[in-house]
A and B are shown apart, each in its own frame.
Chain A
Amino acid sequence: MAIEKLILMNIVGENLYANEVIKEILLLENVQVEDAYNEIENFRFSMDVTDRHLDEILGVTEAKSGVKYDYAEDFVNKLNLLKEIFSDDYTINKELLKKNVDTQDIVDTVNKIYNEIHSKYDILNSYYKDLNEIEKSIKAYNFISPMNIEMKTINALNNFNYTLGSFSKDNITRLKNNYSEITAIVVHVGTLDENEVYVVIWPHDLETETNRILKSLNFNKIEGIKEEFKESPEEILKILNSKKQVLKEKIDLLESEVNEIKDKFKDDSNYAYSVLHLLKKIQEIKKKMAFSKEHFYFSGWIPIGLKEEIKSKLSKYIDDDNIIFNDPRTNAHLKPPTKLNNNWLFRPFELFIKMYGIPSYTEVDPTPFLSMSYLFLFGFMFGDVGQGFIFFLLGVLLSHFKGMKMGGIISRLGISSMFFGVLYGSIFGFETVIPALWLNPFHNINTMLVVAIAIGVIMLTIGYIYGMINKYKSKDYYNIILGQNGLAGIILFFCLILVALALFTGERIISMSVLGAIIIFMIAIIFMKEPLINKLTHRKNHKLDSNFFVEGFFEIFEILLSIFSNTLSFIRIGAFALNHVGLFIAFETLAHIINSGVGSTIVYIIGNIFIICLEGLIVGIQGLRLEYYELFSKYYVGDGKEFETTKL
């Protein structure tokens, strides 16, 4: 549970089997590939040194990075061919890939499919092109359709030329304002989108001038007028439309033929696609490997539980001794990535952890504590059977239909809210329907606030303990005892709480003078921590100058202040629990004022929606704030890297 144990796996094998080995690794989908060449360069690539592996060991010295492996262009080209024709979304079929794959066979299949379909496909494409041209012409001739003259007469004009195109509104004004100087005749024939369409006619002799003027007016020529059409525009349109009809029929026919062929090859092509995709991935992984003349070198992180499975899967290709495992527990210089592994209850909360930062490999996974405490805090502040149920439903819907990770969190929060709803006896805000198993927050304001602080003290204590465990794991032994979040800090924390307890309730568990002495002693320890640790570890002594004392003073001041504020900060959970009821009371009063069955019901419904949206959001944020700020600062660093597996 929590952070999964990982192990670094180095594989040395014969180049002959490289593809098969990578394929097996890829199919596991549970390996984070490391750059093997980099590992070798940095002397981290360890292997068994025995006589039997002399070749492999010697190979290391001449190994080169696989980066130079070309980008599998062949496969990519073939993949694109398939995509161009089928354009469907293929699914990668892993089961089929597990069997032996004959690359040549696949390439042949693709070629076969392509040959069979490609000539038809080309014709189809040329039809599409023709259709496009015809549609353009129809559009163009439509603009001049009222003109009752055969186009051949116009085309045969010796001294004049014409064109069709559009101007923007702004340029039309410019054109109009300078009609007298323009070297062409312009006739308005229609509108296209936001632009005005004109026929422009000019004498041959003024071709250059006209063109330049048109260009300066951002004239956009409309394509589609062609010499080959000689009839009057109206007749041309008739001809074009019938051509279009014929062409469309041809396209339909051909499309259905192509589709038939596609159906015939559906499975084959899907298989080919899967294989080509696999080959492409293999090429990508090769870039991260190193190669000598005869051997390849692979390096990657795997979950420790996968060790035997991988060994047996690769045994066909590689000697057992050539798969070397390197455990980070025995090799401190290895920096493994972090793979979070939590049960279904806690898993959605990994989202909150990732938002803050992944724990490093040696840290304790904070997810369980964060999940439990967050659930508790939220429920405590937002305890209501009815509203909680709505949250639950909302969460289930979100995660089910939208696939949102947040949905998992919301539904769990809903359950927690329902649980506290039972304790508070609150359903949709009404406190009279079901009996409270514990208490009604609004009738026990002081109890709520005191309990809130008590919860804070308990949670902070757990935070301190977590922090000490983390320090132990990262071998920061001195800080466990002397640090502000270590033993010294925790004793200081408790003594201050006892003092506060004594001041407010008169309850003296330990006499004040003893407490005072302990507090001063602890402050002194924390204050002198650096020089003390240096002394104990025989490092160079810390300079005890004025800087040290000023810094130290402010540090202590900050520590005391934060103990005080972190603890009081938890009052908010009591306050929000009250607030939750308070908001409802406000709506209840409104409902009473309206005092009509329908009106009051509407107010109750709006009130509940309002409370769920606003209060739910606020409470969620406040809870997260307590987690991130008050608690994480005690024990969590979160500077790890996530375990990223290579997927097919």
Chain B
Amino acid sequence: MNNNLQFSSVNTKISSMKSKTLQENDYINIMNLSNVMEVLDYLNDNTVYQEVLWDLKGKEVHRNDIESRLYRFRELIIEKLILYIGNEYKDFLKKYLLRYEIEDLKLVFKIVRGKINPEYMDNYIFTTSKYSNIDFSELLEQSSVLDVLKKLKTTKYYRLIKPYSENISEKFNFYLEMVLDRYYYNELIEAVQRLPKTDDEKAAEILRRKIDLYNLEWIYRATKHFDMSKEEILNFVLGHGFKYDYKKLKKIIYSFDPDNPLKNFAGTQYEFIFNHDYDIDLFMERRIDRYIYYKALNLYKSSILTFGKTISFIELIEFEIKDIFSIVESKRYHMSANEISKYLIRTIEVN
């Protein structure tokens, strides 16, 4: 197919979907609402999120409900994009969907291990897409981690989880999250690097920068808060970073000082995570998200008939959902719009 034509249909679809995302005044409106119910009603009455929230209308809802529905929305968007995009790109987008399969898997293990009260089970919905081959209702019927694992024998997860299943310790959950997340990002980045066109490198860059930032966050937090050896920390870093490969990360880990994190990063592009006097921990994630958000926005605007448009759109949707969720969360603490805006990824001026 013609180079440019390949993206014309998916880009048209994206433009139409983008036009339905929230506008600045939508954010201001929901920030000014007084409770979760009102936010839910607003989203149902005025936004495209009605697609996944309609049946919650007028019900007493838990925050988890809204969160998983919103993620389902992003998943639906990716599923739709798969239909419009060329074959080489379909496989990559399917890797994005792995994330939901993995999140559901984590949930299954929590439930099977009795970490979630079955009474509140209704608050969790499974978001796995039609591209998943795992039968989650079957997994939920199992009574132990080993039984679940048996059912997963034919999947790639089996080899990943098995080493930790022999004697289940308190750290099982930690290892589970670490190996599964690492698996997800590995699959995603390897897939993005296999994409055929030279333009696709720009699309890959945004994901690889994300890897950089997540790695730095991990090193900072693990050194500061966890009782872990440097070797362990190093073994859990994600591969395929943009600026920091394994060797550079190794150097950082062995010389990192959590009380003076700036030492290793002064003058680098990622200085912004650490060059604050206070609240490094509190705002670290938001700062990372905001950095990627503007990168994505930039990529979105500069992509004409390239894959960058698709990937940046998916990222932008992710940030929109995160922001909506921050607002919902803040309703619990009765925060003012002005205060809420500090925790949002996008910058919104509130008077």
Binding site for B on A (CB under 8 A): 168, 170-171, 173-174, 177-178, 181-183, 195, 209, 212-213, 215-221
CA distance A209 to B239 in the complex (A): 23
Known interface pairs A218-B160, A218-B163; A170-B186 also in contact (CB < 8 Å): yes
Q: Known contacts being A174-B246, A178-B231, A181-B230, is A216 close to B236, with CB within 8 Å?
A: yes
Partner of B163, one of A170, A173, A209, A215: A215
Q: Are B250 and A213 closer than 8 Å at their CB atoms?
A: no
Contacts of A221 in B (CB 8 A): 163, 166
Q: A220-B159, A220-B162 are in contact. Are A174 and B229 (CB under 8 A)?
A: no
A315 to B336 alpha-carbon distance, docked (Å): 79
Q: Which residues of chain B have C-beta atoms less than 8 A from A220's C-beta?
A: 159, 162-163
Q: 18 A-B residue contacts at CB 8 Å?
A: A168-B159, A174-B234, A177-B247, A178-B250, A181-B230, A183-B231, A209-B229, A212-B229, A213-B231, A213-B232, A213-B235, A215-B163, A216-B231, A218-B159, A218-B179, A219-B163, A220-B163, A221-B166
Task: Verify A212–B166 contact, CB threshold 8 A.
Answer: no
Tell me, in angstroms, the Cα distance from A486 to B177 when the chains sit together: 67
CA distance A195 to B250 in the complex (A): 24
CB pair B246–A177 under 8 Å, yes or no, is yes
Kindly identify which residue among A168, A173, A178, A209 contacts B234, using a CB–CB cutoff of 8 Å: A178
**Beta-carbon contacts of B143-177 to A below 8 Å, as 1s and 0s?**
00000000000000001101110100000000100
CA distance A183 to B246 in the complex (A): 20
Q: B231-252 toward A: CB 8 Å interface, digit per residue (1/0)?
A: 1101110010000001100100
- Are A181 and B231 touching (Cβ within 8 A)? yes
A182 nearest CB neighbor, chain B only: B231
Q: What string of 1s and 0s marks CB contacts (under 8 Å) between B297-325 and chain A?
A: 00000000000000000000000000000
Residue of B nearest to A175 (CB): B235
- A-chain residues with CB within 8 Å of residue B250 when the two chains form the complex: 177-178
CB-CB nearest 9 A-B residue pairs:
A216-B235, A216-B232, A220-B163, A213-B231, A181-B231, A217-B235, A212-B232, A174-B235, A218-B179
Interface centre among B186, B228, B229 (most CB of A within 10 A): B229
CB distance from A208 to the nearest CB of B (A): 10
Q: Determine the chain B residues whose CB is within 8 A of the CB of A178 once the complex forms.
A: 231, 234-235, 250
Q: Are the C-beta atoms of B164 and A215 separated by less than 8 Å?
A: yes
- For B, the interface residue count at a CB cutoff of 8 angstroms equals 22
Q: How far is it, in angstroms, between the C-alpha of A380 and the C-alpha of B160 when the chains are bound?
A: 62
CA distance A212 to B169 in the complex (A): 13
Complex alpha-carbon distance, A209 and B231, angstroms: 9
- Beyond contacts A177-B250, A215-B164: 19 other A-B pairs, Cβ-Cβ < 8 A, are A168-B159, A171-B235, A174-B234, A177-B246, A178-B231, A178-B235, A183-B231, A212-B228, A213-B231, A213-B235, A215-B163, A217-B235, A218-B160, A219-B163, A220-B159, A220-B162, A220-B163, A221-B163, A221-B166
A572 to B166, CA, bound (A): 69
B160 — which chain A residues lie within 8 A by C-beta? 218
Give the number of A-B contacts (CB < 8 Å). 48
Nearest chain B CB to A198 CB, angstrom units? 13
- Minimum CB–CB distance from A195 to chain B (whole Å) comes to 7
Chain B residues whose C-beta falls within 8 Å of the C-beta of A216 in the assembled complex? 178, 231-232, 235-236
Q: A182 vs B163: C-alpha distance in the bound complex, in angstroms?
A: 19
Across the interface, name the chain A residue whose C-beta is closest to B233.
A216
Known contacts A178-B250, A215-B175; decide if A195 and B235 are in contact (CB<8 Å): no
Q: Whose C-beta in chain B lies nearest to the C-beta of A177?
A: B246
- Closest A-chain residue to B232, C-beta based? A216
How far is it, in angstroms, between the C-alpha of A217 and the C-alpha of B159 when the chains are bound?
12
Complex CA gap A174/B234 in Å reads: 8
Bound together, the chains give a CA A92 to CA B218 distance in angstroms of 62
Give the Cβ gap from B1 to chain A, nearest Cβ, in Å: 25
Measured CB to CB, the nearest residue on chain B to A209 is: B229
**Residue of B162, B175, B231, B232 with most chain A CB atoms under a 10 A cut-off:** B231
List chain A residues, Cβ under 8 A from B232: 212-213, 216
Complexed CA–CA distance, A218 and B159 (Å): 9
Q: How far is the CA of A181 from the CA of B230 in the complex (A)?
A: 9
B163: chain A residues at CB < 8 Å are 215, 218-221
Q: Distance (Å) between the CB of B184 and the closest chain A CB?
A: 13
Q: How far is the CA of A335 from the CA of B259 in the complex (A)?
A: 78
CB distance from B239 to the nearest CB of A (A): 7
A146 to B293, CA, bound (A): 56
Chain A residue nearest to B160 in the complex (CB): A218
Q: Which residues of B have CB within 8 Å of A168?
A: 159
> Chain A residue with minimal CB distance to B190?
A170
Q: What does the 1/0 interface line of B125-145 toward A look like (CB < 8 Å)?
A: 000000000000000000000
Residues in A neighbouring B166, C-beta threshold 8 A: 221
CA distance A217 to B232 in the complex (A): 8
Interface centre among A178, A218, A221 (most CB of B within 10 A): A218
Q: Within the complex, which residue of B164, B236, B239 is in contact with A170, where a contact is CB–CB below 8 Å?
A: B239
Q: Verify A195–B159 contact, CB threshold 8 A.
A: yes
Bound Cα distance A177, B166 (Å):
28
Contacts of B236 in A (CB 8 A): 216
Residues on the B chain within 8 Å of A183, using CB: 231
Kindly provide the distance from the CB of B223 to the nearest chain A CB, expressed in whole angstroms.
15
Q: B172 to chain A: closest CB distance in Å?
A: 10
User: Which A-chain residue is minimally distant from B234 (CB atoms)?
Assistant: A178
**Chain A nearest CB: distance from B262 CB in Å?**
25
In the assembly, what is the distance between CA of A183 and CA of B179, in Å?
22
State how many angstroms separate the Cβ of A18 from the closest Cβ of chain B.
32
Query: Which residues of B sit under 8 angstroms from A209, Cβ to Cβ?
Result: 229, 231
A219 to B229, CA, bound (A): 17
Residues of A within 8 A of B186 (CB): 170
The residue on A at minimum CB distance from B239 is A170
The interface residues of chain B lying within 8 Å CB-to-CB of A218 are 159-160, 163, 179
**What is the CA–CA distance of A183 and B231 in the complex, to the nearest angstrom?**
9
Q: How near does chain A come to B95, taking the closest CB pair, in angstroms?
A: 16
Can you list, as one digit per residue, whether each of B33-51 has a CB less than 8 Å from chain A (1) or not (0)? 0000000000000000000
* Complex Cα–Cα for A182 and B250 (A): 13
How near does chain A come to B250, taking the closest CB pair, in angstroms? 7
| Chain A residues near B159 (CB-CB < 8 A) | 168, 195, 218, 220
Considering the chains assembled together, what is the distance between the CA atoms of A429 and B179 in angstroms?
Answer: 65
Interface residues of B in 45-83 (CB under 8 A from A): none
What's the Cα separation between A174 and B179 when bound, in Å? 14
Residues of chain B within 8 A of A173, CB atoms compared? 246
| Separation of A330 and B261 alpha carbons in the complex (Å) | 88
Closest Cβ of chain A to B157, distance in Å, is 12
Query: Inside 8 A of A177's CB, which chain B residues have their CB?
Result: 246-247, 250
| Assembled-state Cα–Cα distance A32/B21 (Å) | 51
- Which residues of the other chain, A, contact B229 by a CB distance below 8 angstroms? 209, 212-213
CA distance A212 to B307 in the complex (A): 41
User: B residues within 8 A CB of A213?
Assistant: 229, 231-232, 235
Could you tell me the distance between the alpha carbons of A217 and B163 in the complex, rounded to whole angstroms? 10
In the complex, what distance in Å separates the CA atom of A183 from the CA atom of B162? 23
Please measure, in the bound complex, the distance between the C-alpha atom of A233 and the C-alpha atom of B250, giving whole angstroms. Answer: 39
**Bound complex: CA of A177 vs CA of B237, how far in Å?**
13
Q: Separation in Å of the B183 CB from the closest CB of chain A?
A: 9
**Smallest Cβ distance from A212 to chain B, in angstroms?**
5
Report chain A residues within 8 Å CB of B247. Answer: 177
**What's the minimum C-beta distance from B237 to chain A, rounded to whole angstroms?**
9
Q: Tell me the minimal C-beta distance from A213 to chain B in angstroms.
A: 5
Q: How far is the CA of A174 from the CA of B182 in the complex (A)?
A: 13
A212 to chain B: which residues have CB within 8 Å? 228-229, 232
Which chain B residue shows the least CB distance to A208? B229
How far, in whole Å, are A168 and B159 apart by their CA atoms in the complex?
A: 9
Q: For A174, what are the chain B residues with a Cβ–Cβ distance below 8 Å? A: 234-235, 246
* A168 to chain B: closest residue by CB: B159
Closest-CB distance, A220 to chain B (whole angstroms): 5
Give the distance in Å from the alpha carbon of A217 to the alpha carbon of B182 in the complex. 11
B265-307 interface bits toward A, Cβ cutoff 8 Å, 1 = contact, 0 = none: 0000000000000000000000000000000000000000000
- Closest chain-B Cβ to A219's Cβ sits at a distance in Å of 6
- Chain A residues with CB under 8 A of B230: 181
- Complex CA gap A492/B199 in Å reads 65
Residue on A nearest B186 in the bound complex, by CB? A170
